[in-house]
Amino acid sequence: MIKLINRDLALVKYRNFPLLAYDETLDEDIFYCPKYISSYWIKLKDENNTVLIGELLKLLYSFEAEELIFLGQIDKPWISKPMSKRFGLAIYNKAIRFFKKSSIWTKFNGAVKIEQKDFKEFLTHFFTLTKFEGYFWDHYFSDESQNILFSIHYSGEIQVLTLNEETNNNFLSFVKNTELIDSFQKDTDRL
């Protein structure tokens, strides 16, 4: 099941999501990132979108995550009006239809809660839009208890922020059971 959560309620309940806003009076971006233990960037050794989602699912199941919460850093709709009218590749069209059917559309800017049985379908469409839409770059997702944050880059690399020591140790152990490797991004922790 997919549950939509009003943005204001999500910001109160889920306080560990990175946020970004523009201050017009100061003419600068204001960025909030929660305190984290470690920051990793991981990827597949060989690029393969189907395998990427499968390996990410393997990692999420290792954490026994029953639900995931998704939230954009910026207060903007999940789907822009140009995105809603653009049609291209069949895979893109399928992802757009999935989000529309799920009511994640041009006026919705809140959080999305996904049950475990829906992880694969949601992440598949989520990654499709991340890959094809520059507008769709700023979403993070976390387990309900907010122990770890993930963000998928359009390149297929995944940012991981561990928010406590136990989760960090578990992540380092669990990631070894996947085909995900360190992508060696600058200024990040090593696996």
Evaluate whether residue 131 is within a structural domain: yes
Evaluate whether residue 189 is within a structural domain: no
Question: Is-contact 113 5, C-beta < 8 A?
Answer: yes
Range of the domain at 28: 2-182
Question: Residue 42 and residue 119: Cα distance in Å, rounded?
Answer: 19
Question: Residue 108 and residue 118: Cα distance in Å, rounded?
Answer: 20
Question: Residue 43 and residue 46: Cα distance in Å, rounded?
Answer: 8
* pLDDT tens figures, 26-54: 899 999 999 999 999 999 988 888 899 99
Task: Provide the pLDDT confidence category of residue 61 given band limits of 50, 70 and 90.
Answer: very high
Specify the higher pLDDT residue, 85 or 62: 62
With 0.75 as the threshold, say if the pTM is over it.
Answer: yes
Q: How many domains does the chain have?
A: 1
Evaluate whether residue 155 is within a structural domain: yes
Evaluate whether residue 83 is within a structural domain: yes
DSSP 8-class letter at 99 = H
Q: What is the pLDDT of residue 87?
A: 75
Evaluate whether residue 187 is within a structural domain: no
Q: What is the pLDDT of residue 96?
A: 92
Evaluate whether residue 188 is within a structural domain: no
Evaluate whether residue 80 is within a structural domain: yes
What sign does the CA torsion over 147, 66, 144, 150 have?
positive
